[in-house]
Amino acid sequence: MKQEEVSSEDNISTVKHFVLLGFSDLSNLQGFLSGVFSIVYIIILLGNCLIIVITRVDAALQKPMYFFLANFSSLEICYVSVIVPRILFNIWTQDRSISVLCCATQLCFFLIFGTTECLLLAVMSYDRYVAICNPLHYPLVMNPTKCTQLAVASWLGGIPVQIGQTYQIFSLHFCHSNQIEHFFCDIPPILKLACGDTSGHELSVYVVVVLVAAFPFILVLASYSKIIATILRLPTAKGRAKAFSTCSSHLLVVVLFYGSASITYLRPKSTHSAGTDKVLSLFYTIVTPMFNPVIYSLRNKDVIAALRKLILKA
C-alpha cells in the first residue's frame, strides 16, 4: 500500500494520491470477499442484461413500462460498473492507491448515474400514475416520442450539476491523511480529508441532494399517493390487486434505494462513521442493483411469461 504522498505549497499539504482502505481491515477474508463481489457482479450483469433482452425481443413487452425498465437495467449495469471492478482490482492486486484524477472521475460518474437513477425512478412512477389514474389517455400521453424524451432527460439531466459538484469538491485542499475509509470515492469520506472548514461544501451537497434526489422523490410520493387513492376506489378486490401489482415492484426499489442513500448523504459529517457508511453504501450501490431483476421479474407475470418463452426458444 502506498504511503501518503503530499507536496507543500503555501504551508498547505495537498494529497497527490488517495488510498481506498475498503475492506483492508478484513485481511483474512480477502479471498472470500473477492469471490462474493465477483459472483454478485456477474449476477447483476446477467440479470439486468436478461431484462434488457426480453424487453426488446418479446412483442408483449413493447410498452412504455418495459421501455423504462430496460433503461433502468442498463443504468444499473453502468452504475455498478463504476464501483465493483475497482473493488475487485484493489482486492486482487492489494494496491489500493488511486490518483486524485481517477478518484474524481469515479465520483463524477457515480454521482451522474445516481442522479439518473433518481430521475428515472420518478419517470417510472409518472408512467405508473398515468397508466392507473388516466388509463384512457395513457397511449396518447406516454407515446414513443414522449418516452424517449423522458429517458434522455433522465440520462443527461444530472451531468452539468454533478460535474460542477465534483469540481467543487476536488478544488479543496486535502491534508494530514490520504486514506479514504471507504471502498470507493464517495463524498462523505472525501470531505473528511479536507483541510479547514467544509461546512460550505456540505451545504452545497445538501442543496444538490435536494435538487437531484429529494425533488424527484417528492414526485414519486405525489404519484403514489394518487395511485393508491385510485386503487382503493376500484370496485373489485381483483382489480385492486392487479393494479397494485403493476407498481409494487417499482415502489419496493424506490424504498430500498432512497432509504439507504438518504441516510448516507443527509446526515451531518460529524455523525458519519466508516463502518455505517460502508454498510449503507453497499445497499444502494450493490445490493439493490442485484435484487432489482429479481424484484421486477418475480413480481411481474408478463416478464415471467417472456422469460419462459425465451428459455423454451433457446
| 194 and 97 Cβ atoms separated by less than 8 Å | no
Q: Give pLDDT, residue 273.
A: 64
Q: Say which range, 59-68, 148-157, 229-238, 297-306, has the weakest mean pLDDT.
A: 297-306
Q: Give pLDDT, residue 196.
A: 78
CA angle 126, 298, 37 (to 5 degrees): 95
* Mean pLDDT, residues 57-80 taken together: 91
**All cell numbers assigned to 78:** 453502468
Q: Would you say domain 6-313 falls under CATH 1.20.1070.10? A: yes
- Mean of the per-residue pLDDT values of the chain: 84
Sequence ranges of the domains in the chain: 6-313
Residue 176 — φ and ψ, nearest 5°? 75, -40
Q: Find, among 154, 171, 67, 68, the residue nearest to 112 by Cα.
A: 154
Q: Give pLDDT, residue 267.
A: 62
Percent of the chain with pLDDT over 70: 88
Q: For 171, which DSSP code?
A: T
Instruction: Give tens-digit pLDDT for 8-33.
Output: 444 444 677 899 988 877 778 888 98
What is the Cα–Cα distance from 247 to 229, expressed in whole angstroms?
A: 13
* Mean pLDDT, residues 287-302 taken together: 77
What is the Cα–Cα distance from 277 to 189, expressed in whole angstroms?
A: 9
Q: Give pLDDT, residue 1.
A: 43
- Evaluated on CA atoms 173, 179, 184, 186, the torsion sign reads negative
Q: Give pLDDT, residue 3.
A: 45
Q: Say which range, 102-106, 176-180, 274-278, 289-293, has the weakest mean pLDDT.
A: 274-278
Answer yes or no: is pLDDT of 2 > 50: no
| 250 and 125 Cβ atoms separated by less than 8 Å | yes
Highest mean pLDDT among 122-126, 230-234, 272-276: 122-126
Q: Which residue has the higher pLDDT, 262 or 120?
A: 120
- From edge to edge, which strands make up the β-sheet containing 97-99? 97-99, 17-20, 179-180
Answer yes or no: is pLDDT of 249 > 80: no
Answer yes or no: is pLDDT of 7 > 70: no
What is the Cα–Cα distance from 193 to 178, expressed in whole angstroms?
A: 7
| 184 and 83 Cβ atoms separated by less than 8 Å | yes
Answer yes or no: is pLDDT of 136 > 50: yes
